[in-house]
């Protein structure tokens, strides 16, 4: 299940998960000053195992220093309806099982806030999984680049396409764990 970070305990768990993953992978730690929302993935047993953070995006966002997201025609047209994904992480012993919850959190936030796109610097293996296994409509902005400890693929994800066609994405869940179907939620 995914849920919004709503208190100090959840914030501590959020920071514990993503910093553990970042340090394990050799990434530089970077705490965000401005955020729109933070989510955690919690197992049925109550373990906090995943995180994702949604940040505001603009032409002045630092992510544009890595790739020219702000000059991409789709992003330029969608001004005000674009956000940045950061700190998408799953603890090593839980990998492969909770990506759908993180993606569902992004879809839920995107729909509630009428976003069209997310911009992100994705690890190449994750980018491939999102494209092939989860069928996320996306576009690479450039080839992979080395950034803060690893290679990343600058990518634009079309969240509007996903939330407008939930019936095509069987992996989407709600914050409470209900599954979206073509007829609504169950």
- The model's confidence at residue 186, banded by pLDDT at 50, 70 and 90, is very low
CB atoms within 10 A of CB 141: 20
Given 3-state DSSP classes, what are the helix, strand and coil percentages for the chain, each rounded to the nearest 5?
A: 35, 30, 35
CB atoms within 10 A of CB 29: 11
pLDDT tens string 81-117: 999 999 999 999 998 889 999 999 999 999 999 999 9
pTM surpassing 0.75? Answer: yes
pLDDT at 181 over 80: no
**Residues paired with 151 in a beta bridge:** 146
- The H or E element that residue 127 is part of is helix 124-132
The number of C-alpha atoms within 13 Å of 78 and in the hemisphere containing its C-beta is 23
- Alpha-carbon distance 145 to 154, whole Å? 8
In this prediction, residues 117-140 reach a mean pLDDT of 95
The pLDDT of residue 176 is: 56
> How far lies 174's CA from each of 29, 87, 104, in Å?
30, 20, 7
pLDDT tens string 2-42: 999 999 999 999 999 999 999 998 888 888 989 999 999 99
- The H or E element that residue 22 is part of is helix 8-25
Long-range contacts, stretch 135-139, CB < 8 angstroms, 24+ apart: 135/168, 135/169, 136/103, 136/162, 137/161, 137/162, 139/72, 139/74
The number of C-alpha atoms within 13 Å of 131 and in the hemisphere containing its C-beta is 13
- Alpha-carbon distance 65 to 120, whole Å? 12
- Give the N- to C-terminal CA distance of the chain in Å, as an integer: 15
In this prediction, residues 153-160 reach a mean pLDDT of 98
DSSP 72: S
The pLDDT of residue 183 is: 39
């Amino acid at each position: 299940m995914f849920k919004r970070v709503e208190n100090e305990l959840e914030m501590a768990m959020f920071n514990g998960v993503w910093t553990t993953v970042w340090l394990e992978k050799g990434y530089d730690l970077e705490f965000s000053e401005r955020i729109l929302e933070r989510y955690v993935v919690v197992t049925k047993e109550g373990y906090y195992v995943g995180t994702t953070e949604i940040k505001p995006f603009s032409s002045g966002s630092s992510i544009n220093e890595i790739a020219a997201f702000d000059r991409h025609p789709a992003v330029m047209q969608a001004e005000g309806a674009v956000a940045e994904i950061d700190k998408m992480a799953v603890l090593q012993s839980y990998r492969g099982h909770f990506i759908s919850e993180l993606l569902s959190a992004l879809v839920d936030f995107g729909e509630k806030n009428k976003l069209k796109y997310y911009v992100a610097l994705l690890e190449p293996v994750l980018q491939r999984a999102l494209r092939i296994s989860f069928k996320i409509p996306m576009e690479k902005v450039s080839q992979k680049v080395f950034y803060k400890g690893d290679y990343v693929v600058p990518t634009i994800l079309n969240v509007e396409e996903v939330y407008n066609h939930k019936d095509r994405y069987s992996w989407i869940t709600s914050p409470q764990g209900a599954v979206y179907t073509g007829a609504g939620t169950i």
